[in-house]
Amino acid sequence: MTFRFSFGPWNIHEGADPFGPPVRQSYDFQEKLAAYRELGFEGVQFHDDDIVPDIAGKTHAQVMRRAGEVRRILDGHGLVTEIVAPRLWEGANTIDGAYTSNDPNERLQAIERSKQTIDIAREMGTNNLVLWLAREGTYIREAKNPVDAVHFLIDAINKLLDYDKTIRILIEPKPNEPMDQAYIPTIGHALSLAYRSTDPDRVGGLIESAHCILAGLDPSDEMGYALAHGKLWSVHLNDQNGLKYDQDKSFGSDNLRRAFNQVRVLADNGYGSNGEFIGLDVKAMRTQPRELSFKHLANSRSLFLRLADKVRTYDREKERQLVAARDYEGLDEYVLDHLLGR
């Protein structure tokens, strides 16, 4: 099985965090795209405004013209667009949520912007629309109605499915941050929205490792859940050291065994055989010098490939015997030995 890798241009960044300004000079958009192939990546994940800066101030025709230009740049580099996502969480009129805002006018505007993102996706040659439901939640429970919120989300999904009959919606769940509590915290929540939609075959999920860990769940089991439904359509592999702010650490850098199990569940279930990408969502540490600020991407990709080798050379017969004997201590030891290279 050969894997295709992707990431988003926001993964090459300037090191700003909530407590400090940027510490590295930016690479411009063209330089970022030029780096993909060199780093071993062929897929690009985009927000609508990664493709069209200042999107809110542009006419539809200007937006589409710019999308066409970016498409041609990608073609020139031999890159393809994997997904496009509406960046709904930065707008002045989505401060209190987009599809679940209490204000019907804001809900409408969020849906309109998402329809435009679908147009951009088509122009870029992909039918994958990702929805990270960033501000669809609350800071305090009493601020919104949790039942209405679910109906608003289903309504938005249905309107987008109806707008374009070929688009697929990939919901990216995350339990918190920026909100105190998100309405769609896990893949189970996401997929139940899929089944309630008017076209369940066109609604699936994108699972990010760190988001599962923040929910206190194991990423490989979350992936297994979506795979069992035929609904794992993309991933954001990364790592996370426990329950704190969303870290987006390099894949496998916090817990190698947890990473091994993600590669294992993906490889064992033919993930990638329908064109799915191994997507990354990783941040370089703030301390990283500018000229070395691509390493987290290269490292995450090569770690994935090394773990894919570990999956291939993992002794299935040995595992079968140990499981049959219910010798889970023996299995534990074997897994650690295998990862340590013995």
Interface with ligand 3MF (CB under 6 A): 10, 47, 85, 130, 132, 172, 174, 208, 236, 246, 281
Is the Cβ of residue 79 or residue 130 nearer to Mg ion in the bound state? 130
Shortest approach of ligand 3MF to residue 323 CB, angstroms?
35
For 60-124, give the DSSP string: HHHHHHHHHHHHHHHHHHT-EEEEEE--TTSSGGGTT-STT-S-HHHHHHHHHHHHHHHHHHHHH
Which does residue 32 touch among Mg ion, ligand 3MF, none (CB within 5 to 8 A, set by kind)?
none
Shortest approach of Mg ion to residue 248 CB, angstroms?
8
Residue nearest to ligand 3MF (CB): 132
Residues marked active site are found at 47, 50
| 186 in Cβ contact with 226 (< 8 Å) | no
Shortest approach of ligand 3MF to residue 176 CB, angstroms?
10
Locate 252 and state its tokens: 């496998």
How would you classify the pairing of strands 137-138 and 181-182?
antiparallel
Nearest Cα to 5, choosing from 278, 267, 206? 278
User: How many whole angstroms separate alpha carbon 259 and alpha carbon 305?
Assistant: 11
Is the Cβ of residue 222 or residue 281 nearer to Mg ion in the bound state? 281
Which does residue 82 touch among ligand 3MF, Mg ion, none (CB within 5 to 8 A, set by kind)?
none
Is the Cβ of residue 132 or residue 152 nearer to ligand 3MF in the bound state? 132
Vertex 25 angle, CA 68 and 88, to 5°: 50
How does DSSP classify residue 231? -
Q: Which residue has the tokens 């499915």?
A: 161
Give the other-Cβ count within 10 Å of 289's Cβ: 10
Shortest approach of Mg ion to residue 246 CB, angstroms?
9
Nearest Cα to 215, choosing from 255, 184, 191, 193? 184
Facing residues of 172 across strands? 132
How would you classify the pairing of strands 43-47 and 80-85?
parallel
Is the Cβ of residue 85 or residue 110 nearer to ligand 3MF in the bound state? 85
Shortest approach of ligand 3MF to residue 127 CB, angstroms?
16
Is the Cβ of residue 10 or residue 334 nearer to ligand 3MF in the bound state? 10
Is the Cβ of residue 36 or residue 132 nearer to ligand 3MF in the bound state? 132
| 280 in Cβ contact with 251 (< 8 Å) | yes
Q: Assess 236 for contact with Mg ion (CB under 5 A).
A: yes
Which does residue 154 touch among Mg ion, ligand 3MF, none (CB within 5 to 8 A, set by kind)?
none
Looking at residues 161 to 220 of the shown chain, list those that interact with Mg ion (rule: CB under 5 A): 208
Locate 90 and state its tokens: 């930065």
Which does residue 304 touch among ligand 3MF, Mg ion, none (CB within 5 to 8 A, set by kind)?
none
Is the Cβ of residue 131 or residue 161 nearer to Mg ion in the bound state? 131
Shortest approach of ligand 3MF to residue 89 CB, angstroms?
8
Which does residue 294 touch among ligand 3MF, Mg ion, none (CB within 5 to 8 A, set by kind)?
none
Q: How far is CA 33 from the centre of its chain?
A: 19
| Strand spans (E) along 133-231 | 137-138, 168-172, 181-182, 203-208
Residue type, 274: N
Region from 26-34, 62-70, 228-236, 271-279 binding Mg ion, contact rule CB under 5 A: 228-236
Q: x/- binding map, residues 258-297, to Mg ion, per CB under 5 A?
A: -----------------------x----------------
Shortest approach of Mg ion to residue 239 CB, angstroms?
13
Q: Which residues bind Mg ion (CB under 5 A)?
A: 208, 236, 281
